[in-house]
Structures are given as C-alpha cells and as structure tokens.
Amino acid sequence: MRITLLGTGDAFSTGGRFHTCILCKTNETRFLIDCGASAITAIQQRGIDTNAIGTVLLSHLHGDHFGGLPYFLLDGQFDRRRTAPLVIAGPPGTRSRIAAMMDALYPGIWERAWRYPIEVVELAPREPWRFGDAAVTPYLVEHDSGAPCFALRVACGATGANWRRSGCSSCISARWCCRTPTRCRSSPRRTA
C-alpha cells in the first residue's frame, strides 16, 4: 500500500499544514482516510485525479476530518464530471451529518441528482469492512464529535500490511479533543 500524507494539520492548520487527508493506493483501489476542510486544496496542488478515488473513509465527524467532503463532491459533479461511483464510509451518524453539512453550505444540493452514484456506509465498531483488496476495521476511541469516533485499522493484501490512525490524532489540542488528556491517542501508529 502506498500512502501519501496530503494533510496532517490540526484544526487550526498550525504551521500552514492542510487538514487531515491521507491518500492510500493499493493494487485495486485508491482511497482517502479523512477529508478535512482544506483537503481539496491539497488534492489540487498535487494534481491528484479525484475520479480515481473510489472510497473515502472517515475516522470521525469533526470539520478538520470530514469538512472537505462538500468540495470533493462538487469537484466531481461540476469540474471533473465524475461518473465513477463513490463510497463514503464512516461512523454511525455519517449519513445525517453529511446531509446537514451539505444543506448548510449548499442548500438543496445533497437531495439533487448527482452525476455519479454516492453510497454512504456506516461502519460498526470492530467489524471489518472490505473494499477492493483493502479492508478497514474501526475501533472506538474516546473523543467528542457528536457521534462515535473511530481509530481506523486499514489492511491491504495477503501481506497484512496495515496502517492505523487514531481518530483524534490531528484534531485539536489534547485538552480540547479528549475528555481525559492522558487518554489522548494522538500519535498515528504504523505497523508492518
């Protein structure tokens, strides 16, 4: 699996970094882990073809992790004229939160006909969900976003190579993002 860190910033884009967005490529699929508010800028700067991204995984429903979805979706609708299906997979509540966000930013557009199929999958804790030659297993973490928050374990292929990312890793400072700072799992962990 090839991993490109498009955005690793916190909620305030400290140091000029983009909000959380990680591009993963396997033999069979390309997908994002999180799509923070400034993700589309990072994607455009790198010249990445959004039409080739089939899945967006969401760790949790804070703006710096999923607030870039409207622009990602509109890019496919109006700029790149996407036809390929897109799957958005996130915690329980993802469907209604996306609808509310879209309605706040671009009223009525979520309910219109999109030129490409959009499917929203709500993941269950500890239940692997497979897509292409990859799979994601979500684990509940302590974080307050108005919905369950996940650390995502992403695995690919027979080698079992995987990447784990904490749901609160690049959100905001520990005193804000966790009820108990000592429980903040703020460092992404990579395992072979």
Residues that bind Zn ion (CB under 5 A): 62, 171
Backbone torsions φ then ψ of 139, nearest 5 degrees: -125, 135
Q: How near is the Cβ of 67 to Zn ion at its closest, in Å?
A: 11
Q: How near is the Cβ of 168 to Zn ion at its closest, in Å?
A: 5
26 versus 166: smaller Cβ distance to Zn ion: 166
37 versus 156: smaller Cβ distance to Zn ion: 37
17 versus 62: smaller Cβ distance to Zn ion: 62
Query: Contact at 8 Å (CB) between 165 and 59?
Result: yes
62 versus 185: smaller Cβ distance to Zn ion: 62
- Please state whether 100 falls in left (phi above 0), alpha (psi between -120 and 50) or beta: alpha
CA distances from 39 to 23, 80, 99, 158 (A): 10, 16, 19, 30
Q: How near is the Cβ of 132 to Zn ion at its closest, in Å?
A: 27
Q: How near is the Cβ of 126 to Zn ion at its closest, in Å?
A: 20
58 versus 134: smaller Cβ distance to Zn ion: 58
Buried b (16+ CB within 10 A) or exposed e, 42-74: bbeeeebebbebbbbbbbbbbebbbbbbbbbbb
- How far is residue 94's CA from residue 108's CA, in Å, rounded to a whole number? 18
Q: How near is the Cβ of 84 to Zn ion at its closest, in Å?
A: 29
Which residue has its beta carbon closest to Zn ion? 171
Backbone torsions φ then ψ of 40, nearest 5 degrees: -65, -30
